[in-house]
Chain A
């Protein structure tokens, strides 16, 4: 046993898979220790915040005497304040009367546009052929720009409870700033927020844990059923073998996906928790394990050491446990690993169809995808709501498959390169 494990770690594929899987596993358990908030807490009001750091609006304009403001600088004000029409007008004037070549004018860069404007435009010059109305229009535009450039500051007013009038509480100069580090209430969403305003990263970690749990439940159940049926079919043989093989072949051809849909639809929604979904996936996923266990047992059945045990009058149980199980353990482990990965995938697909766990207390990878799809994150380009989920599913599945291939190469020397 010890040697087998040692051997496994000599396979580069197994090690790669193992490292990825461990990384996921460690993250699942360490992350909640650092970020302790409820993964389903709706941190942000409103949905699909881009990844980044956010400041609570109520803190920016606090209600106490200590006001904090994130004031726009004049440049930012110009950037947002100048409408597209105004910019077009400015560009038009500069090109026609300011003798600036069109290639030098960039309407998307407000700052340089205004600088160019201030340099060329003089309200006093009279241009021939220009009507007064147009001339006034340009003057109004100029006033607007000059006004925007002035830092007028901001006045904060409070409503008087008794009279209902607004009273000035404090005024701020446009050049007053607050250090970002001093802001009391900032939220950093490394992966943004989802449609409910939940932090995707925290949710994702919690969901991975639950999905992995579903996969393991499914894997354990499928492996146990598959192991028992495979042992019975392979060891007992005869009619039992024929019957089990028939049923197994039947269920490998009838897609387990279809069975899963039918059963999940029939289970009442209140009973369909994450554990239940794991169990359902497990009871539809056993045929693969049964097949591989059966063929392994058949090749072992007539080995000398098994025959010797039979001759010594050992009971069937003892023969199975001491002479057969240890030899097929590696195959069972490999089948178990694959079952986990396909279990996670099955949960995700089931949830996409709306037949996943019906729960509001936990998230699963499938449910996250389902929510993102229902709120059409995939067509609105909010990639952070679903790409991380897809990546986690792919990483887990990839790492488990790599571990499986690595083990396969150790136990089947023919496959080694």
Chain B
């Protein structure tokens, strides 16, 4: 049990350190750039305002708000203090709304969309890869290459293709939003149905592009494992094929789990952009509106929440890995 605790303790500690670095980067990077952020913000906000005193007042207000006149470390702790309380300030572009309100809303949509999509894509990819390695033939020569090509289509590209086929041409699925524009969020059956219908295109576009990459990895791992000595020995012992296959796939899955953890960030980045194509009210669309509206508080909160989501997902994958991998398990029992 001691080793068990040590493994998890180390993992969590490492992720906490990473989180600290991520937060620092999130704060420092935009401020490292030459120029005064306040004047940049004010000049963007004040474009069109001709009254000089009003601009001056805005400048003072933002200087105070951002604490630009204070040294950088004081600014940092003030910012961190607010961030921990969930206070990221007020959005510039959607004025009376607070950033945390916008973010908490869109983060929910993004999590509900991407988490299942990536997991389903990963599972289907692994199954396809394993089947291609074991059955060979058509699976290996035709179906896998097709998915391999599909996986090279960027996520937003897949989104537009599905959108064109199913929403524009066939009119079977809605083209944008997360629920019907004429509905008010409620617990009614029509609302749930509308959500499910709107969910299909974004979901499948992420799933489809995830499959290929995972399948290739799984296929080569499975081939590698199928040629391993223990498989030959098991065959020699006369163990049933089904059982051997189970061993093989279990072993081949392990690197795939690490692979998932490593590529989560990239996958999420792609999927966020795909959200834009569907005007899905998730973090991707919020990022876009933050960029186009030059809404700095919203943008930095978005990037922070995305980083935290990726970190948490990574940590979860690693914790699961600790339970599954027999080598880690063996260490835990010492």
Contact = CB atoms under 8 A, between A and B. Distances in A.
A216 to B, nearest CB: 18
Contact of A253 (B18, B148, B153): B18
A89 interface: no
Contact of B33 (A266, A345, A349, A414): A266
A349 B314 contact: no
Nearest to A378: B160
Interface in B142-198: 148-149, 152-154, 156-157, 160-161, 163-164, 167-169, 175-176
Indicate the size class of the contact surface on chain B.
35 or more
Interface stretch (B49-57, B88-96, B265-273): B265-273
Interface in A245-276: 249-250, 252-259, 261-263, 265-268
Nearest to A377: B160
A265 B291 contact: yes
Contact of B157 (A250, A257, A263, A394): A394
Interface in A356-405: 369, 373, 378-381, 383, 386-387, 389-390, 393-394, 397-398, 401, 405
A394 B154 contact: yes
Interface string A44-56: 0000000000000
A381 B224 CA distance: 46
Q: Which of A250, A254, A417 has the most CB of B within 10 A?
A: A254
A183 interface: no
B244 interface: no
Nearest to B220: A415
Contacts of A386: 157, 160
Contacts of B218: none
A352 B276 contact: yes
A354 interface: yes
Nearest to B32: A266
Contact of A254 (B157, B276, B307): B307
Nearest to A351: B273
Contacts of B154: 345, 348-349, 390, 393-394, 397
A210 interface: no
A265 B30 contact: yes
Contacts of B264: 255
B287 interface: yes
A379 B152 contact: no
A159 to B, nearest CB: 43
B21 A250 contact: yes
A379 B168 contact: yes
Interface string B293-334: 000100110010011001100100000000000000000000
A254 B30 contact: no
B157 A393 contact: yes
B268 A254 contact: no
Nearest to B261: A253
A354 B152 contact: no
A355 B294 CA distance: 11
B260 interface: no
A76 interface: no
Contact of B25 (A259, A268, A342): A259
B303 A262 contact: yes
A353 interface: yes
B12 interface: no
Nearest to B209: A394
Contact of A261 (B33, B35, B40, B287): B287
Contact of A354 (B40, B272, B277, B291): B291
Interface in B2-42: 14-15, 18, 21-22, 25-26, 29-33, 35, 40
B223 interface: yes
A401 B152 contact: yes
A254 B168 contact: no
B292 interface: yes
Nearest to B163: A378
Nearest to B157: A390
Interface in B235-267: 262, 264-266
Contacts of B31: 266
A390 B307 contact: no
B288 interface: yes
Contacts of A373: 276-277
A259 B266 CA distance: 12
B18 A250 contact: yes
Nearest to A258: B303
Given A250-B21, A266-B30, A397-B152, A379 B307 contact: no
A393 B25 contact: no
Contact of B300 (A259, A262, A348, A380): A262
A261 B299 contact: yes
Nearest to B277: A378
Interface in A207-265: 249-250, 252-259, 261-263, 265
Given A255-B307, A267-B33, A381 B164 contact: yes
A390 B273 CA distance: 14
B72 to A, nearest CB: 15
Nearest to A414: B224
A367 B189 CA distance: 41
B273 A353 contact: yes
Contacts of A257: 265-266, 268-269, 272, 306
Nearest to B284: A353
A258 B299 CA distance: 10
A254 B29 contact: no
Interface of A: 249-250, 252-259, 261-263, 265-268, 342, 345, 348-349, 352-355, 369, 373, 378-381, 383, 386-387, 389-390, 393-394, 397-398, 401, 405, 414-415, 417
10 contacts: A254-B307, A256-B269, A262-B300, A266-B29, A353-B276, A353-B291, A383-B164, A390-B157, A397-B152, A414-B224
Nearest 3 pairs between A and B by C-beta? Answer: A255-B265, A257-B269, A390-B157
Given A253-B18, A258-B265, 16 more contacts: A254-B21, A254-B307, A255-B264, A256-B266, A257-B269, A259-B25, A265-B299, A266-B33, A352-B276, A352-B288, A379-B176, A381-B168, A381-B169, A394-B153, A398-B148, A401-B148
